[in-house]
Amino acid sequence: MSGRISVDEARELWLHASDDELMKLAQDARARWHEPNHATYMVMRIINYTNVCVAQCDYCAFYVLPNQEGGYVLSREDVFAKIDELLVVGGDLVGFNGGFNPRLPLDYYCDLFAAVRERYGDRVEFYALTIAEFVYLADHAKLTHAEAAARLRDAGVHWITGGGSEILTENFRARHAKWKYTVADYFEAQRAIVESGMRTTATMVIGFDETLDERLEHLQRTRDFQDELLAAGHEGLFSFLCWTYKPYGTEFAGVEISPQEYWRHIALSRIFLDNVKHVRTSVLTQNADAFRALDYGADDFDLPIEDEVTQKAGATIELDLDGLLAVPRSLGYTVEYRRAERPAALTA
């Protein structure tokens, strides 16, 4: 198989290709960008700055409603302490991720991110928000996406990542997360983020009740969006990260998909997304099984030391980072630490 594959061809591959066939095609696609036996990684921490949220997604075990018991907002000192701990274990990437908290105005975020940038400079990079939070914040502040993006960029933000996407079909959003955003909003916001000079990524979560066609629609939308960004001269989506739904303690519940299904999906994503350089595998939700996805086309991964959102839904985090890194090495990969890049548009 050569050249770009269609959605119909991707469906055929998923339904009829063996694991070995998918792996071979994904390895060929990976080799267009990366050395075959080499992978990169980061040590990072998700900082869940608030668990108060009004979106009420049925697959979420993390949130509490405003005025419900157990809601919190981290203080500046709490945030700094968590970043300091990350530096001690050798990490340098923070992902801020919280709920849609109606009591936190845009200024709260701008002040927090400016304070982090001032205190840590280039020693720490941070993914300031997910697209989902960004859409909520902009709407809440009654700003356009472009205006909100400019405010955050001017506060020192370099990255707003594609988190909160789960499955990007309007039907999935209506079934599970009808107050989160629409797919049209999601991409419109992501476009504004890119046009402001910040960088972004693509993500996906599988293992709910999504159909094969919904998975393929998500991949198609991602590839089309990347085509559009690159054609306009932007740096485009840095990476595509897929992780798996953790069903414990959620209203929707369900059962986890197998590692094999995850690996196959990583392979299909690598083959289909021929315009995205980095395909990332999720140690957060797959633990040591995540590394086998390197054979299925992934080239990069995080070693997270905290993420309350997925931990509340059943994820377990391994803190023996050397022990984790021994796994890809045992599979024949050299692994190299990667620092988050600064967007070219924001480089002085």
**Interaction site with ligand SF4 (CB under 6 A):** 53, 55-57, 60, 62-63, 99-100, 132, 177, 180
Residue with smaller CB distance to ligand SF4, 181 or 225: 181
The pair of structure tokens assigned to 203 is 């993500």
- Distance in Å, CB of 309 to ligand SF4, minimum: 7
**Which residue from 239, 129, 279, 241 is spatially nearest to 192, judged by alpha carbons?**
129
Output 46 or 276, the one with its CB closest to ligand SF4. Answer: 46
* Minimal distance, residue 199 CB to ligand SF4, in Å: 22
Nearer to ligand SF4, 34 or 173 (CB): 173
Cβ atoms of residues 93 and 126 within 8 Å:
yes
Instruction: Provide, rounded to whole angstroms, the least separation between the CB of residue 166 and ligand SF4.
Output: 8
Q: Which of 102, 76, 239 is nearest to 159 (CA)?
A: 239
Residues β-bridged to residue 95: 46, 127
- The least distance separating ligand SF4 from the CB of residue 132, rounded to whole angstroms, comes to 6
Token pair in block for residue 227 = 């085509």
Helix, strand, coil % (nearest 5) of the chain? 45, 15, 40
CA 202, CA 46: separation in Å to the nearest integer?
17
- For the bound state, the minimum distance from the C-beta of residue 99 to ligand SF4, rounded and expressed in Å, comes to 4
Judged by CB, which is closer to ligand SF4: 313, or 327? 313
Residue with tokens 């000079």: 197
The strand pair at 38-47 and 93-96 is best described as: parallel
Nearer to ligand SF4 by Cβ, of 59 and 225: the residue is 59
When the beta carbons of 181 and 263 are compared against ligand SF4, the nearer one is 181
Nearest distance, CB of residue 177 and ligand SF4, angstroms: 6
The DSSP secondary structure of 201-241, one letter per residue, reads -EEEEE-SS--HHHHHHHHHHHHHHHHHHHHTT-----EEE
